[in-house]
Amino acid sequence: MKGIYHWVGFRQIGLPYEEATREDGNSKWGLWRLTALAVDGISAFSNLPLRLWGMLGAVIAGLSLIYGISRIVRYFIHGVDVPGYESIIVAVLFLGGVQLLSLGVLGGYIGRIFNEVKGRPLYIVRRTYGLGEPE
C-alpha cells in the first residue's frame, strides 16, 4: 500500500507512536515471507532491477573484452602460459555478459509492457473544491 499511496501522490506525514508489545504468540511473518514481500514491493513499482542486470551484463562483457585484449598482448610479450585457458575464460565471460545484457534489454521491454498493462493514468489531477466548480 505504501507504494500505491506514494505513486498516487497523496500528502504524507509521519505520526509518532509507541509500538505495543505482542500480548500473545509470535508473528507468523518470518524472514522468508518478509523478504518475499520486500521483493514484491520493489518489483511492482520499479524497473530498476531489470536495468541493473542489463548494466551488469554490459560491464561484464566490457571487462571480458579488456581481459581478452590484455591476454593477447601478454601472449605476444611473454608467450603462452596454458594453451586454450584464456580463450575459454574470455569466451565464457563475454557470452555470459552478453546474455545478461540481452536479459536486461528484454526485461526493459517487458517492464514497459507491464506498466502499460496496469492501466494507470499518466497523471492525476487533484481537485480543489470551491474554485471554478460547475454547479
pLDDT of residue 8: 63
The average confidence (pLDDT) of the chain is 80
d(CA 90, CA 60): 10
- CA-nearest of 103, 122, 18 to 56 is 103
- CA-nearest of 43, 10, 34 to 126 is 10
CA dihedral 105, 3, 114, 119 (to 10 degrees): -140
pTM of the predicted protein model: 0.61
pLDDT tens over the chain, length 135 residues: 566 666 666 667 778 888 888 888 888 888 999 898 888 877 777 777 778 888 999 999 999 999 989 988 888 888 877 778 888 988 999 999 999 999 888 988 888 888 788 777 666 666 665 555 454
pLDDT of residue 123: 67
d(CA 71, CA 58): 20
96 in Cβ contact with 62 (< 8 Å): no
92 in Cβ contact with 61 (< 8 Å): no
Q: What is the pLDDT of residues 72-89, one digit of tens each?
A: 888 888 887 777 888 898
